[in-house]
Amino acid sequence: MALTGKGMMIWKIPSCEEGNPSKIASVAKAAGFTHVLIKIADGTYSYNINRTTNIDLVPPVVSALKAQGLKVWGWHYIYGDNPTGEAKTAANRTKALGLDGYVIDAESEFKLAGKETAARTFMTELRKGIPSHPVALCSFRYPSYHMQFPWKAFLEKCDYNMPQVYWQESHNPDVQVTKSFNEFQALVPYRPYMPTGPLYPAGSWKATAADIKLFMDTCKKLNIPALNYFTWDYKASMPDQWNTIASYKWDGSVVEDIVTRYIAALNSRNPDTCANLYTNNAIRITAARTMQGHDSIRTWFNNFLTVNFPNATFTLTGTTGSGFARRFTWTATSTSGRISNGNDTIGLINGKIGYHYSFYTIT
């Protein structure tokens, strides 16, 4: 499910509203959050488990939040020492908890030698387990400062980018989020950008309420569809900052223009019309393959529309998203079968599709 609006991360459930699920949900609703992201795993271990009683604290919070109409994602700190095990933990937790999406928290461990292979292994296994769930990467704010990090290995199979834009020891969130946004816009592969801001103390430093407002104002100016904060656990010690986030009005309007044009292009059955919706270096990912570049994408559409799924009629069934990110569902019928579970995510660059993840099965 695509994200728009304001979100808040939860680290330790007992530190948030004393762990009371209904209180967490009612506070989230009152704050105008559209989504909450809960830590569900650390390495190969499930997280937010009461180690005394072995009770999983996450399910009742998920249920309470969903009852209030919020989307619930899980986040997971990974190390890369056992990437297959970490990926299985991620997929199992995401599915068992009925989550709307999954966030990878990968940091300094992946700057070490050999960790690019671990990142690729993790992403391959993760997508085997949750092929249709949206996945985001939450890592460093400036790729230019962390070139050893395997950005491509992670982002190739992600839907979104949620970098940690923590302006720690400073008070210039507008400068930092703009720099971060511009660097990721230039990074290949590009993914829709949804920054994570700081709601935590670091020694004597805290983001001020004015910082928080400036951060969100700047995100609006950059036409960013969603943002998050880390973490709810410090709400009680940062009331002014929390209240600024809660009172901030976020425009979560839905724009369907590119999606409508894409479905119309499919129904034209013209591969050139379809390919012209993409940037020259766009990446398109399906369960079968990853392709990059206008010519490669045009060839794929030609094969799909004339050989694999000929004489098809496509129907848009739902869409969410704003700014430069869209997520939509669709169905299709053809002389060779039917698709009832089309589920796509696209990211835009200057009005064209720069990234497209498409999941579907032909029956």
Which structure tokens are listed for 125? 């296994």
| Residue 336 or 1, more confident | 336
Per-residue pLDDT, 253:
46
Cβ neighbour number for residue 243 with a 10 Å cutoff: 14
Q: What is the pLDDT of residue 179?
A: 93
- Count CB atoms within 10 A of the CB of residue 182: 13
Residue 283 CA to residue 265 CA, distance in Å, equals: 18
Contact 325, 347 (CB under 8 A): yes
pLDDT tens track for 28-42: 999 999 999 999 999
Q: If we measure between CA atoms, which residue out of 123, 218, 230 comes closest to residue 180?
A: 218
pLDDT of amino acid 339: 96
CA atoms within 13 Å, Cβ hemisphere of 172: 6
pLDDT-above-90 percentage for the chain? 78
Give 230's contacts (C-beta < 8 A, 6+ positions apart): 9, 11, 164, 166, 196, 197, 198, 199, 200
Query: What is the band of 264 on the pLDDT scale with cuts at 50, 70, 90?
Result: confident
Average pLDDT over residues 108-114: 96
pLDDT at 102: 98
- Judged by average pLDDT, the poorest of 42-46, 54-58, 182-186, 269-273 is 182-186
* C-alpha span between 190 and 354 (Å, rounded): 7
* Helix (H) or strand (E) segment spanning residue 327: strand 325-334
Per-residue pLDDT band at 2 (split at 50, 70, 90): low
Q: Which residues of 169-180 are buried (b: 16+ CB within 10 A; e: fewer)?
A: eeeebbebbbeb
**Residue 167 has what DSSP assignment?**
-
> How many angstroms separate the CA atoms of 165 and 223, rounded?
16
Q: What percentage of the chain carries pLDDT values higher than 70? A: 97
d(CA 152, CA 329): 26
Residue 182's pLDDT band, with cuts at 50, 70 and 90, is confident
Backbone angles phi, psi at 159, to 5 degrees: -100, -30
Report pLDDT digits (tens) over 216-247: 999 988 878 899 999 999 999 999 999 999 99
Indicate the range of 105-109, 324-328, 329-333 predicted with least confidence: 324-328
Task: Enter the tokens of residue 72.
Answer: 């619930």
* Model pLDDT, residue 259: 87
- Is 341 within 8 Å of 281 (Cβ atoms)? no
Full-model pTM: 0.75
Measured between alpha carbons, how far is 69 from 118 in angstroms, rounded to an integer?
Answer: 36
Q: Could you tell me the domains of the chain?
A: 5-247 (3.20.20.80), 257-359 (3.10.450.50)
Please, which residues bridge with residue 325 across strands? 347
Alpha-carbon span 191 to 158, nearest angstrom:
8
Distances (CA, A) of 333 to 259, 267, 336: 18, 11, 8
Across the range 283-309, mean pLDDT stands at 94
64-78: pLDDT as tens digits:
999 999 999 999 999
Instruction: Give me the pLDDT at residue 251, please.
Output: 60
Q: Where are the alpha helices (DSSP H) in the chain?
A: 21-30, 58-67, 83-96, 115-129, 151-155, 173-186, 209-221, 239-247, 257-268, 271-275, 294-303
pLDDT tier, 1 (very low <50, low <70, confident <90, very high otherwise): very low
More confident residue, 223 or 53: 53
Determine how β-strand 278-285 pairs with β-strand 290-292.
Answer: antiparallel
Residues 127-161 pLDDT 10s? 999 988 999 999 999 999 999 999 999 998 998 99
The pLDDT value recorded for residue 260 is 81
Q: Is the pLDDT of residue 256 over 50?
A: no
Q: Which of 17-31, 240-254, 279-293, 349-363 has the highest mean pLDDT?
A: 17-31
The better pLDDT of the pair 182, 300 is held by 300
Q: What is the mean pLDDT of residues 97-113?
A: 97
